[in-house]
Amino acid sequence: MMKSSSEITRRDFLTIAGILAAGSVTPAMGQITPTTISGRPGNDEYFFPAGFIYMNTGTIGPCRRKTVEETTDTWKQLESLPLQFYATKFAPALAEKTRMMAASFLGCDISEIMITKSTTDGMNAVAQGLRLQPGDRIITTNQEHDGGLNGWNYMAKYYGVRIDSVNIPFDTHDPSLLLENISKAITPQTKLISISHVFSSTGLRLPVAEISKLARSKDILCIVDGAQAVGTIKVNLKELGCHAYATSGHKWLMGPKGTGLLYISKEVQNRIRPIQFEDSHNTFNESTGVGNLPGILGLATAIDYLHETGIGKVEQQNLSLRNRLYHSLLKETGLDIQSPPPGSMASPLLSCRLPENIDGGKFSSLFLETHKISFRPVHKKWFNGVRFSLHVFNTEEEVDKLVQIIKKELSSRSD
């Protein structure tokens, strides 16, 4: 029988309050001074080497200096008396701070949030926890990341579940068309729709609230891979209305690597029961075993920064940089941008195709090695191109520099 999370939470809270009052561990919550989020070159809030331009947060984000310091401080305290730290009520209670922060950031109840290692880990947990039957069908799309697909592929391979992949062309940006295509794929055997919130391929935002509504009207589940959304655009889980949502701590949230969050809506907690949360949804429970407490607490620090700064402000700034890049690439390079034009479907990820004679992987390596600019190739299964992620530490100057170098590199190849 699962323990009542809210009961545990209240009790844990009192314990946390006691710990913090005793000054044993530096609390992250409420201590972040809101800073201006205009990035600047040589910004010492981060560890980037001077002159380096990082546009790869969608792959893996940087931790801020403060996040690293608080994580390592906790780690040092923990290592001074490991058993005492973990084996007493201290660690389990303290760890709930991260769930509390995440729930507040994402607009849901703490009992609906679980700590995972990654988006993949969360999506796998949902797939495993659903106990699907042979012949059950799942709707997904051709633009899902493997992290969101692994669990369903496993179910198809070993449990006879069938996957219906809706084909969405990369340059289709019309939300009603997306919805229509997904709707057409629903059959009487369909048990769920599994989609990204933001496509890893092009940064397109999916109309998740509408897709959830559609799913609910057909009495099926809506499961969301939010790896490319949380930390860079405002995410309110109740407004989205989905049943489950997985994300990473180590991308846009800028938390420690190997951290993630999983939301399972209260109403389906009896239907989605991953092994690791069978005992309870608490960070420390009999079904998960010992976790990485310093990293988990570091994630609370990272979330706190974005929460205090204001996710609306972060989103606005990131989109403004992204739109600058969009217009500038079009004007200066004529590259074939696959991401949506500025507007409601755009997110701070931007991808473009490269001419066939220029390989996305080699182009990205060249920029890293020669120009100290980090971005990534688009996954080969989608198209030959490159993807840029723009987050709070990036600047307009960086965007302009990137475009000028791209222009130069492209023109040297067309000679």
Ligand X SMILES: Cc1ncc(COP(=O)(O)O)c(C=O)c1O
391 binds ligand X (CB under 6 A): no
292 binds ligand X (CB under 6 A): no
Q: Judged by CB under 6 A, which of 74, 118, 269, 317 binds ligand X? A: 118
Q: At what angle do helices 90-106 and 5-21 cross, to 10 degrees?
A: 110
Strands 373-374 and 53-54: parallel
318 binds ligand X (CB under 6 A): no
Closer residue to ligand X in complex, CB, 27/203: 203
57 binds ligand X (CB under 6 A): no
148 binds ligand X (CB under 6 A): yes
Rounded CA separation 247/259 (Å): 9
Q: What is the DSSP string of 39-76?
A: --TT-TTS-PPTT-EE--TTT-PPPPHHHHHHHHHHHH
Which of these segments, 8-16, 141-149, 230-238, 268-276, binds ligand X (CB under 6 A)? Answer: 141-149
295 binds ligand X (CB under 6 A): no
- Least CB distance to ligand X at residue 247 (A): 8
Q: Judged by CB under 6 A, which of 5, 9, 212, 228 binds ligand X? A: 228
145 binds ligand X (CB under 6 A): yes
- Least CB distance to ligand X at residue 228 (A): 5
227 binds ligand X (CB under 6 A): yes
Which of these segments, 82-90, 101-109, 187-195, 225-233, binds ligand X (CB under 6 A)? Answer: 225-233
Closer residue to ligand X in complex, CB, 32/262: 262
Q: Taking CB positions, which residue lies at the least distance from ligand X?
A: 147
Closer residue to ligand X in complex, CB, 90/388: 388
Instruction: Sort 50 into a burial class: Cβ within 10 Å, 0-12 / 13-18 / 19+.
Output: exposed
Q: Judged by CB under 6 A, which of 71, 200, 328, 394 binds ligand X? A: 200
Which of these segments, 97-105, 165-173, 220-228, 357-365, binds ligand X (CB under 6 A)? Answer: 220-228
248 binds ligand X (CB under 6 A): yes
119 binds ligand X (CB under 6 A): yes
Q: Which residues contact 22 (CB under 8 A, 6 or more apart)?
A: none
Rounded CA separation 25/399 (Å): 40
120 binds ligand X (CB under 6 A): yes
Q: What is the DSSP string of 175-226?
A: HHHHHHHHHHT--TTEEEEEEESB-TTT-PBP-HHHHHHHHHHTT-EEEEE-
- Least CB distance to ligand X at residue 302 (A): 14
- Closest Cα to residue 122, out of 66, 194, 186? 194
Contacts 24+ apart (CB under 8 A), 69-72: 70/26, 70/28, 70/297, 70/298, 70/301, 71/256, 71/294, 71/295, 71/297, 71/298, 71/301, 72/294
Both tokens of 227, joined, read 């790896």
Interacting residues toward ligand X by CB under 6 A:
59, 118-120, 145, 147-148, 196, 200, 225, 227-228, 248, 260
